[in-house]
């Protein structure tokens, strides 16, 4: 039986963020967070032109605005209400599939 690699929720921050370094990260709108998108705690993320999208621990879709290259405005990270826009629920579904496939692929 193959062992799956640890999920981002089982890992601790490795990006020198002043708030999370060495800790788990379950909330994404901490005002002091400077986590990078490549942080070990960051779930599989879709980079869009002005924002990044990802699923939180509960599988809910979240978005964070982009400030500059690899800089994100975590204070303004927020959940996306997927029942209003069919595109958002499609993105959530695709991220769920991509996450599951990647975990198998990387194990
Ligand atoms: Zn952080
Ligand atoms: Zn981090």
104 has pLDDT over 90: no
The model carries a pTM of: 0.90
**Local structure of 89: helix, strand or coil:** helix
Relative to the alpha carbon of 34, which ligand is closest?
1
Q: What pLDDT does 76 receive?
A: 96
Mean pLDDT, rounded, for 17-37: 95
* Ligand 2: centre distance to CA 7 (Å): 14
Q: Which two tokens stand for residue 52?
A: 């990044």
* Ligand 2: centre distance to CA 52 (Å): 15
* Ligand 1: centre distance to CA 84 (Å): 29
∠ Cα 57 67 86 (to 5°): 50
Task: Delimit the domains of the chain by residue range.
Answer: 45-106
Which protein residues have a CB closer than 5 Å to ligand 2 (ion)? Answer: 13, 15, 17, 20, 35, 39
Relative to the alpha carbon of 21, which ligand is closest?
2
Q: What is the pLDDT of residues 40-74, one digit of tens each?
A: 999 999 999 899 999 999 999 999 999 988 899 99
Q: What pLDDT does 30 receive?
A: 94
Rounded CA-CA distance 100/87 in Å is: 20
């Amino acid at each position: 039986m193959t062992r799956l690699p640890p999920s981002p929720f089982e890992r601790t921050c490795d990006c020198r963020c002043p708030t999370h370094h060495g800790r788990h990260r379950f909330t994404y709108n901490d005002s002091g967070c400077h986590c990078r998108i490549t942080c070990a705690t960051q779930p599989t993320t879709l980079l869009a032109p002005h924002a990044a999208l990802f699923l939180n621990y509960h599988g809910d879709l979240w978005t964070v605005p982009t400030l500059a290259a690899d800089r994100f405005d975590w204070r303004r990270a927020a959940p996306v209400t997927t029942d209003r826009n069919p595109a958002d629920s499609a993105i959530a579904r695709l991220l769920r599939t991509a996450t599951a496939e990647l975990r198998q692929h990387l194990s």
